Amino acid sequence: MASPFTTLPPELLLHVFSLASSHRPTAVALSLVSHWVRNHVERNLYHTVSLSSSRSLLAFIASLNSKPHAFAHNLVKRLSITALGPISNIDEVLKKCTGVTSLVCGFSVPSYLHCARNLKQPIAPPEITTFRLPIAPHEQLLIALACRDGIDMSIISPLVTHLRFQLTPATTSESMARLRELSYLTHLAITYRHGLHGNVNSIKEMIKPVLEEGRLKVLVIHAHRKEIEEWRTGSDSTLEVIDSTSTSTQKCLGCRPHTLIIAKRAAAAVLPQWEQGVDIWDVSFT
């Protein structure tokens, strides 16, 4: 008995496969059906890639090596690397996926920079070797190990417009002030633990140089309830501070004076939200 699919127009089949492959497990299953089907679901399958182990790094590199040269650049748009290494494999993935627009970094930044500099110029001393990411995403999230040693501008894309990171004991006011170098930065999200850098006023002093640039449109503060209230009651008239847990915030959204500060409760792990496509920059509260 002939398959009913043989009677359907190819355009309809492609539409069905496209819709079905938006669900990743389904996309994986469909990729095993046939070579023709796999070619049409790969766009969704490779659009968002999350690499959390050395095994997944190696498997991903092997997969890309079997594809045309421009495959990774054209298809991989959202990339998360939380694997510890090998660092050389992380560098290889970043160099292949040059079309990424959203990047999550969860690996050791000093280890990566040391490896990348050695691969680029093994003879030159590290202090005179400048380095930039091989890709330039517009959205970047620094989590876990990427924040442990503070902020290193070498790991941040110069074209980034949306940046999220966590304050750690290694984060300094000087490194925070260097965020002014990001000419396109309009959205900044910061997570910090209660009491880590003193009170709310200490955090405000660290952020002040970035706010004074006047380019920042939205600042999202992920903190505990007590800090949220302190952010709301202790700000001057040039800043509009909104508690996203309040039901009376929507009326303020169209009248921000300079920078809109969104105070949110410290959320659970951001990576699952990113993988599910949740917009962490949404300020509609609807």
d(CA 205, CA 167): 14
The residue with tokens 């748009």 is: 77
Give the whole-angstrom CA distance, residue 56 versus residue 60. Answer: 6
Confidence at residue 208, expressed as pLDDT on a 0 to 100 scale: 86
List residues bridging with 187 in a β-sheet: 162, 218
- Are the beta carbons of 61 and 86 closer than 8 angstroms? no
82 near 144, Cβ under 8 Å? yes
CA dihedral 56, 156, 282, 253 (to 10 degrees): 170
Burial of 32 (0-12, 13-18, 19+ CB in 10 A): exposed
Q: Which residues contact 89 (CB under 8 A, 6 or more apart)?
A: 54, 57, 58, 61, 83
Query: Which residues, 6 or more positions from 73, have their beta carbon under 8 angstroms from its beta carbon?
Result: 96, 97, 98, 99
Question: Does the pTM exceed 0.85?
Answer: no
pLDDT at 244: 46
Please classify residue 163 by burial: count the beta carbons closer than 10 Å to its beta carbon, then call 0-12 exposed, 13-18 middle and 19+ buried. buried
Predicted confidence pLDDT, tens digits, the chain (286 residues): 556 666 666 666 665 666 655 556 665 655 555 565 666 667 777 888 999 999 999 999 998 998 888 999 998 999 999 999 899 999 999 999 999 999 999 999 999 988 877 765 444 454 444 567 889 999 999 998 998 998 889 899 999 999 999 888 888 889 899 999 999 999 999 887 766 666 677 888 888 888 888 888 888 887 666 666 666 665 554 444 444 444 333 333 333 445 676 666 655 578 888 887 777 776 654 3
User: Could you count the other beta carbons within 10 Å of the beta carbon of residue 60?
Assistant: 24
